[in-house]
C-alpha cells in the first residue's frame, strides 16, 4: 500500500485522497504538521510542503499535481471510462489548467489564508507563526471567494462537469478546495445554484 | 506557427521559450503586460496570468507547466534522446518536482518580488500598482536567494544534470529562473561553483 503524508485541512492533500478514492486504491495516511519542520519530513521533501506520496520503493513523489500525473501514468491509463484524465492533449491541458486554478490560484487567494488564520494559528506554537488570527487577512481572503464561486458556477452551468463531459481531476481539485471552505462555513451556496448542483 | 503571449522578464515565459528553442520550433511572440488587464487577454485566460500558448486551432493553453506537458505530448515523444522529459514515471515525477520548484517556489520566494520591485513597478502606472520599490520586499527576496542557490549547487554537484543524466525541463526551469536573477545582477556565483558550471 502506498503512503501519503498529508494534513486534513489542506485542499492539495484532500485532492490526492479523492483521486485514490475514485480508483478504489487504499492509502496509508500519516498526518504531518509541516510547520514543525520535522527532520525526517524535510529529508523527504526539502521544500517542506505537503502532500508527499511514498510510491513504489518508498520513493517520495512531491506535490499534488505531480502525484496526480504519477497516478494517471501508473494506474489511470488502465481505467478506461473511469479515468480521471483525458486522452486528448488539448483536453488534458484544460484539465491541468483548472486543477492548477483550484490547487494554486484559489489556494493562494483564499483557502490557504482562511485555513492558516482560522484553523492552524490557534494550534501552532508562537515560534512557528501561531497566535491570534489576522482579521485583515481573513477579510481579504473572504473578498476573493466570490470570484472563485462565480467562476465555478459559470463552469458548472455551461459544462456537464467542470472540464467537460466527464469527471476529471479538475472536479476533484475544485471539490477539495470548496470542501475546505464549506467545512469552515465560508461559502454562501444560495447565489451559486449551478455550482451547488455540481458539488452535491 | 504557434503563438506565445509572454513577458520577457517572467521566468515562466523564458522557460517555455527555452523549451521550444531546444526543439527547434519557432514561436510567434506577443509581449503582454498582464497588469493592464487587456480584455482580449483576459478572454484567453481569466486568471490574467502568463504564459499563454495559442496552440493548434488557436486554443489557449495556459500556464508554463501545462504548456510543457502539451509540448511533450505533441512533440517531445518523437524526439527520442533529445526529449526534455523522461519515459519512466518516477523520473517524470522528479523532473516535475524540480520544474515546479523553480517556476513556483523560487518564483514566489524570490524572482517575482525582485522583478516586480526592480523592473515592473517603475514602468507600471500607479493605478496598476506602480510606484517606488518596496525595499523591505527586496531585502526579503534577496535573503531567500542563498537557499535556492545552495540547493541548485547541491543538485548540480551530485548529478550530471539537475534531474538526472539528461537535460530536462528541470534544467530549463532553473535556467529560466536564474537567468532573470543573473540579468538583475542578484546572483553571487563565486560561492556556487557547481551551479555556475552547470549554468554555463
**What tens digit of pLDDT does each residue of A33-54 get?**
999 999 999 999 999 999 999 9
Cell of A68: 496526480
CB contacts < 8 Å between A and B, how many? 71
- Chain A residues whose CB is inside 8 A of the B47 CB are 101, 105
pLDDT score of A26 more than 90: yes
pLDDT score of A128 more than 90: no
The chain A residues in contact with chain B (CB within 8 A) are 46-47, 55-57, 59, 61-63, 65-67, 69-70, 73-74, 89-90, 92-93, 96-97, 100-101, 104-105, 151
DSSP state, B164? B
pLDDT score of B129 more than 90: no
CA B193 to CA B156: how far, in whole Å? 9
Name residues whose C-beta falls within 8 Å of residue B182's C-beta, 6 or more positions apart in sequence.
B199
pLDDT score of B193 more than 90: yes
Cβ atoms of residues B46 and A151 within 8 Å: yes
Cβ atoms of residues A188 and A150 within 8 Å: no
Going along chain B from its start, the domains and CATH numbers come out as 2-82 (3.40.30.10), 89-199 (1.20.1050.10)
Nearest-CA distance B164 → chain A (Å): 15
Among A2-6, B60-64, B187-191, the range scoring the smallest mean pLDDT is B187-191
pLDDT digits (tens, 9 = 90+) for B24-67: 999 999 999 999 999 999 999 999 999 999 999 999 999 999 99
Cell of A139: 477579510
Dihedral through CA B166, CA B167, CA B168, CA B172, nearest 10? 160
Helix axes B89-100, B64-74, angle to 10 degrees: 150
**DSSP-derived pairing of the beta strands B27-31 and B2-6:** parallel
- Chain B residues whose CB is inside 8 A of the A98 CB are none
pLDDT score of A147 more than 90: yes
Closest B-chain CA to A101: B47
Render the burial of A132-161: b for 16+ CB within 10 Å, e for the rest.
Answer: ebeeebbeebeebbeebbebbbebbeeeee
Among A83-92, A98-107, A129-138, B5-14, the range scoring the smallest mean pLDDT is A129-138
Closest A-chain CA to B59: A90
Amino acid at each position: 500500500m502506498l503512503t501519503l503524508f498529508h494534513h486534513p485541512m489542506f485542499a492539495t492533500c484532500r485532492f490526492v485522497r479523492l483521486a485514490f478514492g475514485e480508483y478504489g486504491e487504499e492509502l496509508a495516511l500519516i498526518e504531518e504538521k509541516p510547520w514543525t519542520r520535522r527532520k525526517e519530513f524535510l529529508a523527504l521533501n526539502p521544500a517542506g510542503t505537503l502532500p508527499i506520496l511514498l510510491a513504489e520503493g518508498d520513493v517520495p513523489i512531491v506535490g499534488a499535481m505531480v502525484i496526480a500525473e504519477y497516478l494517471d501514468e501508473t494506474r489511470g491509463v488502465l481505467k478506461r471510462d473511469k479515468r480521471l484524465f483525458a486522452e486528448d492533449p488539448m483536453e488534458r491541458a484544460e484539465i491541468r489548467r483548472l486543477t492548477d486554478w483550484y490547487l494554486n490560484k484559489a489556494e493562494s487567494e483564499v483557502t490557504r489564508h482562511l485555513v492558516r488564520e482560522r484553523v492552524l494559528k490557534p494550534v501552532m506554537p508562537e515560534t512557528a507563526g501561531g497566535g491570534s488570527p489576522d482579521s485583515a487577512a481573513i477579510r481579504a481572503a473572504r473578498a476573493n471567494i466570490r470570484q472563485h464561486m462565480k467562476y465555478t458556477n459559470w463552469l458548472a452551468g455551461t459544462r456537464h462537469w467542470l472540464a467537460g463531459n466527464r469527471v476529471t481531476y479538475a472536479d476533484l481539485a475544485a471539490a477539495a478546495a470548496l470542501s475546505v471552505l464549506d467545512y469552515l462555513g465560508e461559502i454562501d451556496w444560495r447565489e451559486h445554484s449551478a455550482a451547488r448542483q455540481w458539488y452535491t
